[in-house]
Structures are given as C-alpha cells and as structure tokens.
Amino acid sequence: MPVPDQVDQLRVVDQAKPAELWWLGVHGGSGESTLAGLVPEWPEAGHGWSRTAAPGPDRVVLVARSNARGLKAAQAAIMQWASGQVPSIEVLGLVVIADAPGRLPRPIRDLAQVVSGGVPRTWNVPWVETWRLGEPLALADAPREVRRLFDELRVILGPGAAGTNN
C-alpha cells in the first residue's frame, strides 16, 4: 500500500485516557464532534490518530463528509492506516455524513464506493437539518440510520467481536 504524502497524513495524538472507541474526523467539519456528542463515552480524537497507554489497539471510526474533499481525506487516512504508518490502531469503519440534503451526484457516489473498499464497513448518515441549526443532540431523536450505526458499533465492540488492526 502506498503511503500518502506527509502533508496528507493525519498526525498522531497522545490521549490522556483510553476510550472504547474514538471518532476520527479526517478533515475539519467532518462531523466527529456531533457523533461524539451523541454518545459521550466515545470521544472525538481531535483530527488525529489516538494513541493511549491502554493495552491492545485503539479502536477508531473514521468520519468524513460526503463531498470530494471529505472522501479524498478519508482515502488518504485509510492509505496511511493500511500502509502500517499508525500501528496499534483498529479501524472499525468509515462514517460518511451527508454534506447536503438529497441524493449524491454520481461522481461522489462512485468515489464513496471506491473509498469504502478500504475499510471493513461503511455507514452513511443522512442530512440532519437540526444538527445544522445547532439544536441539542440526542441519540433518541437522531435518524434511524444514526441509531443503527450506534447499535452496530455496540455489537462490534461487544465481547468476542474482532475487527481489523495493524
């Protein structure tokens, strides 16, 4: 796997406390803070690969917007991880959050499909107008796709579940 240019690589962030799961926004405005606000025990990683003193790999879900910039940033992060540049990271998947209401244009759908091939699983989160307006976050009020994402992650993180790590 080729290594992305240094400028396209995410930094490694030393975290004071371990977490069961980290949301890693691969670019500014990705939505990692929003997802972290829905389940506070799964914090945002601060746009960098989390490194903790915990035994075992740090589990990460990449987060990107559904636009060309966001998907290309996700692709670079996936390449960085897959090339072994961030050892002890277990990437559980990629969350692609809609950057606008409505259906994605074909070139973006095609790019998303290519990028998704580099991770174990991908979840798509629709446009949520209330998030844009800054209304309080509540998982119970989130769209079905978001609740399903969190349910699936709880199963993946459960005892005996295994993912992919480097």
Closest by alpha carbon to 94, among 64, 66, 127? 64
Q: From residue 105, how far is each of 94, 102, 128 by CA, in Å?
A: 19, 9, 18
Per-residue pLDDT for the chain (166 aa), expressed as one digit of tens each? 667 677 778 999 899 899 999 999 999 999 999 999 999 999 999 999 998 988 889 999 999 999 999 999 999 999 999 999 998 899 999 999 999 999 999 999 999 999 999 999 999 999 999 999 988 899 999 999 999 999 999 999 987 554 444 4
* Residues across the chain: 166
Closest by alpha carbon to 153, among 59, 80, 82, 63? 59
Q: Is the dihedral of CA 123, 20, 74, 45 positive or negative?
A: positive
Residue found by looking up tokens 């978001």 in the block: 146
pTM above 0.75, yes or no: yes
**Quick one: tokens of 85?**
């540049």
Distance CA 39, CA 59 (A): 15
Residue found by looking up tokens 């259906």 in the block: 103
**Quick one: tokens of 8?**
């396209």
Helices and strands (DSSP H and E) totals, the chain:
5, 6
Query: Looking at the DSSP assignment, which residues form a beta bridge with residue 124?
Result: 96
